[in-house]
Structure 1
Amino acid sequence: MQKSSLWSLRLGFSNQQSSAIESLGLDLFLKHSFETNSKTIEPEFLANSPKNIKELRERRKNLKASSPEQVKEMVVQEAKISNEMKAWWIDKMMTEKYPLREKMTCFWHNHFVATFQKVKVNHWIFDYNQLLRENAFGNFKDLTKKVLKSNAMVRYLDNVDNKKGKINENLSRELLELFTLGIGNYTEEDIKNGAKALAGLGIGEKEAMYRRNFEDNDTITYLGKTGKFKADDLVDIIFEQKNIPYLITKKILQWFIYDAPKEALIKYYGDFFKKVNFEIQPLLTKIITEEFAKENAGSKIKNPLEFILQLVDALQIDVKNKKAIVFFLKEQGMDLFNQPNVKGWEGGKTWLTSQIYLQRQNVCDLVLQGKTFNRRSVSKDKENEAMNLTFVPKFNWKGVTNKEIIQHITDRFLFMVDENNQKDFEAVLKYDFNPEAQNANQAVLRLFNAITKTPEFQLI
């Protein structure tokens, strides 16, 4: 596989940026990626969704006075808005000239998990998504502090129920276990004391805030330090621990390059991360530039986003209604804003179960026939009829002989081609192939379909 194609997928979601990587060079491509605008205009579909505590209380008041049918309709409406937001985000991923910020936003989205299913307020989910976007290349320590004080997180991990005399440990536990240090680097006593420090931190207008009547101001000992601590203090103490850089460095390596990064590599980049005071941009620059120089294609299974957006780009499909992609991702177990639990999507081999593999093959068959990948599932929904339109898949290919064309396509999409694969491809596109024939394009599309069915196509 050409390096530009490989790293276009790794730094984005498709082969769309491969020519830019080739023409600009990796360093300049990264520079432009880091300089992308992080500000986002609030989408119109959020206009009628509760924005703050006052509007939320008014909505709850209305719900109490409403009939069961009206309550159900309000719930359905908010779920539809959530789907609109998923489609909106997918559109951003597909249309950004330099999509690395969105790729990193999605990484943080799966690290600091807070789902709509639990939070239930679309505005808080949007604000949270924007927080992750704005800080995607910033400072890990600062981002952790901001996440702790977001309405989405205190609601998702039940800190709204964490009060003096009635402690809830959820947020305190995940702060240590999943967000920063990892298992084995703290004690149960640290979790209990951390929960005391977080007691009273609940929903606020713009961000979470402490409520005096529910705070616990006892002196506690946390990771070896004693005092009266609050949320920011906990994070400061956590980031003094010797093992703080390694959990997040491992997850970044897994997100971009290796399903199973070597411990020596995790420590190497983790030590650098601590040296640059937990700044994400220099860490990403070092990882990407140094790993780019290595031969490491085929070290990671594509997640469903990478699979479907690469397919859409390769076949030049104009997906008018991005909810089709929303549906596919949900079927593949990558439902945006709704991970299965606080651990997020596991990645790796979980993206290639027999069911997921079969779904991917079926999708390739459908789009190469000019059919939308979830037409049967959405055909009953009039709102989504636009998803059922047929289209003509297009595919750029070069070459005169069958072997030249096979080489051109596999260089873009496969990290390796063994002897058996080559024979299979030549059986599809035979030695007497005529590129000027009327059905030449259909023959090449059949070849591409055969390529997408290989295990190698699932890897980057």
Structure 2
Amino acid sequence: MTATQSSYEQLFRRLGFGASQSEISSAMSIGYQATVNKTVQTALNSPSNFFAPQPGPLTSFEELHATLRSRNFTNIKALTKKIHGEELPAAISWWLNQMAKSQTPLVEKMTLIWHGHFATAINKVGLTSLMLNQNNTLRQNGLGSMEKLATSVAQVPAMMIWLDTYLSKATHPNENFGRELMERFLIGVGNYSQNDVVAASRAFTGWGFNPTTLAFVLNNKQHDNGSKTFLGNTGNLNGTDIISIILSKPQAAQFLASRLFSFLAYPIKPRDPIAIRLASTFNPSTGSIAPLVASIATSPEFISPQAASGLAKQPSEYLGGIMRALKVNISTAHSNILMEILNLLGQVPFNPPNVGGWPQNAYWLSTVTASTRAKVANMMVTAGDISPVSDLKPSERVDGTCSFLGISDASQSTKQALAALVKKP
């Protein structure tokens, strides 16, 4: 595999939010494989994996329920306005600033990827604090043990509210989480039966959380302790057993490998030869996610022409990259404007459209979103630091802009468009 400068640029875009020319040059001096290893290892060892600070005081679960129980419409309306009009925009700007400033952008990229994969939305979850709690769970576990990540996500309040696990009792098991765990999260359609859904749902009965600490709680009185048969395994299975059994199946390895490759390179199916090859060295029941990410980044397909044009940037990824390049910081005062922009672009973080997360590519492309992206870029250029380009001679600014943005392989038409702008006063 021969890596060119554009290969390094793409690596930093896909495993982060772009890089400066000096970062690209440093990476090229140590080689592509070493750069991948360094990027992944640095992210694994990063202090960014700790529980990150939350943006300001947040409404508690108990406060929300007390307000709802009061049935006072004025109070409910005021609290809803506070959550969606103040807390959510602040949380979004906080996360975008994390993407722009983090010394380990792979940590934030994996958090974004898993947010789309293990999708939950504030529209149902109700509280920004619960969404941030899940966000930090993804951040802490995004490159570690796959089984720990899946179990941790299953036990956060946001997921238990989103898919109704906390309502599931031995006498009335709720099938939402058991079904989506297999269909969307871990193994994919066609690899389980309705009987498996029923058994899994029984195993997750009694799951809940402490409303004050948000810690996972198992209510034994509401848990089904009967024998269950799930994917060929029989016994008094609980929820963690279900996750372990799913992840032990080869189909789970292929499904998860295909999902990560699709997020980092271009969309593929679980039965694609690439997914099968990647899955051959990835055991999700015992292994970590980091080596799989490294395998994807060092695969020949990752730096192929198909990968170069294989993904349209998600709006939050697009904005995070611009903010990073231009050293833009979004203040709390501008949080609502940022959320409005993201809404126009079709992606409000912490509020995906459904359990499937956000679709890829064509979903982001329309005349409206293209126009909005151009306007946003212009706003960011006005607010940001463009001295690496503006300090150059006019004759150097086209190549300087391409270098600054990490697009050394820019097309001739792009360069001609930039040259026309340079000539303007």
The TM-score by the shorter chain falls in which range? 0.7 to 0.9
Letter in 2 for 1:107: I
Letter in 2 for 1:218: G
Matches of 2:408 and 2:347 in 1, distance apart?
A: 24
| Aligned residue number for residue 434 of structure 1 | none
Q: Does 1:76 align with 2:81?
A: yes
| Aligned residue number for residue 311 of structure 1 | 322
Q: Does 1:396 align with 2:388?
A: yes
| Residue 61 of structure 1: how far off its partner (Å) | 3.4
Matches of 1:129 and 1:427 in 2, distance apart?
A: 43
1:351-394 CA-partner distances (Å, limit 9, x unpaired): 212321121123234445x3xxxxxxxxxxxxxxxxxxxx4762
Q: Could you say what secondary structure the match of 1:138 adopts?
A: coil
Matches of 2:138 and 2:416 in 1, distance apart?
A: 47
| Aligned residue number for residue 287 of structure 1 | 296
Return the index of the structure with the highest Cα Rg: 1
List runs of 5+ in structure 2 lacking aligned partners: none
List runs of 5+ in structure 1 lacking aligned partners: 371-390, 431-441, 444-460
| Residue 49 of structure 1: how far off its partner (Å) | 2.3
1:67-108 CA-partner distances (Å, limit 9, x unpaired): 321221122222222222222112211111121111111111
Question: For the structure 1 residues 149 and 43, does the alpha-carbon distance in structure 2 shift closer, same or farther, using more than 3 Å as the test?
Answer: closer
Trace 1:179-328 onto structure 2 (pairs within 5 A). 179-204=185-210, 205-260=213-268, 263-274=272-283, 277-291=286-300, 294-296=303-305, 297-321=308-332, 323=335, 324-328=337-341
Question: For the structure 1 residues 311 and 417, does the alpha-carbon distance in structure 2 shift closer, same or farther, using more than 3 Å as the test?
Answer: same
Question: For the structure 1 residues 3 and 399, does the alpha-carbon distance in structure 2 shift closer, same or farther, using more than 3 Å as the test?
Answer: farther
1:282-329 CA-partner distances (Å, limit 9, x unpaired): 111222233598444223211112322333344444443462433322
| Residue 395 of structure 1: how far off its partner (Å) | 4.5
Question: For the structure 1 residues 154 and 239, does the alpha-carbon distance in structure 2 shift closer, same or farther, using more than 3 Å as the test?
Answer: same
Trace 1:426-437 onto structure 2 (pairs within 5 A). 426-429=419-422
Letter in 2 for 1:277: T
Question: For the structure 1 residues 66 and 174, does the alpha-carbon distance in structure 2 shift closer, same or farther, using more than 3 Å as the test?
Answer: closer
1:28 corresponds, among 26, 38, 52, to: 38
Question: For the structure 1 residues 161 and 325, does the alpha-carbon distance in structure 2 shift closer, same or farther, using more than 3 Å as the test?
Answer: same
Matches of 2:410 and 2:136 in 1, distance apart?
A: 41
Identity of aligned residues (%): 23
| Aligned residue number for residue 329 of structure 1 | 342
Q: Could you say what secondary structure the match of 1:273 adopts?
A: coil
| Residue 257 of structure 1: how far off its partner (Å) | 1.8
Letter in 1 for 2:319: I
Q: Does 1:154 align with 2:160?
A: yes
Q: Could you say what secondary structure the match of 2:229 adopts?
A: strand
| Aligned residue number for residue 99 of structure 1 | 105
| Residue 135 of structure 1: how far off its partner (Å) | 0.7
Q: Could you say what secondary structure the match of 1:226 adopts?
A: strand
In 2, are the aligned partners of 1:259 and 1:301 still within 8 Å (CA)? Answer: no
Letter in 2 for 1:214: Q
Q: Does 1:15 align with 2:19?
A: yes
Letter in 2 for 1:113: A
| Residue 34 of structure 1: how far off its partner (Å) | 2.4
In 2, are the aligned partners of 1:367 and 1:393 still within 8 Å (CA)? Answer: no
Instruction: Let me know the Cα RMSD of the aligned residues.
Output: 2.8
Matches of 1:238 and 1:275 in 2, distance apart?
A: 9
Question: For the structure 1 residues 75 and 268, does the alpha-carbon distance in structure 2 shift closer, same or farther, using more than 3 Å as the test?
Answer: same
Letter in 2 for 1:396: P
Question: For the structure 1 residues 304 and 20, does the alpha-carbon distance in structure 2 shift closer, same or farther, using more than 3 Å as the test?
Answer: farther
| Aligned residue number for residue 142 of structure 2 | 136
Question: For the structure 1 residues 363 and 155, does the alpha-carbon distance in structure 2 shift closer, same or farther, using more than 3 Å as the test?
Answer: same
TM-score normalised per structure 1: 0.79
Q: Could you say what secondary structure the match of 2:215 adopts?
A: coil
In 2, are the aligned partners of 1:298 and 1:415 still within 8 Å (CA)? Answer: no
| Residue 280 of structure 1: how far off its partner (Å) | 0.7
Q: Could you say what secondary structure the match of 2:298 adopts?
A: helix
Matches of 1:399 and 1:242 in 2, distance apart?
A: 55
Question: For the structure 1 residues 166 and 367, does the alpha-carbon distance in structure 2 shift closer, same or farther, using more than 3 Å as the test?
Answer: same
| Residue 164 of structure 1: how far off its partner (Å) | 2.3
Q: Could you say what secondary structure the match of 1:202 adopts?
A: strand
Q: Does 1:409 align with 2:401?
A: yes
Of the structure 1 ranges 217-226 and 18-27, higher mean CA displacement relative to structure 2 is found in 18-27
In 1, are the aligned partners of 2:208 and 2:217 still within 8 Å (CA)? Answer: yes
Matches of 1:367 and 1:99 in 2, distance apart?
A: 20
Matches of 1:273 and 1:64 in 2, distance apart?
A: 48
| Aligned residue number for residue 384 of structure 1 | none
Q: Does 1:4 align with 2:32?
A: no
TM-score normalised per structure 2: 0.85
Q: Could you say what secondary structure the match of 1:117 adopts?
A: helix
Equivalent residues, number: 404
Question: For the structure 1 residues 20 and 78, does the alpha-carbon distance in structure 2 shift closer, same or farther, using more than 3 Å as the test?
Answer: farther
| Aligned residue number for residue 378 of structure 1 | none
Letter in 1 for 2:377: C
| Residue 10 of structure 1: how far off its partner (Å) | 1.4
Asked which structure has the greater RCO (Cα within 8 Å, sep 6+), the reply is 2
| Residue 213 of structure 1: how far off its partner (Å) | 3.0
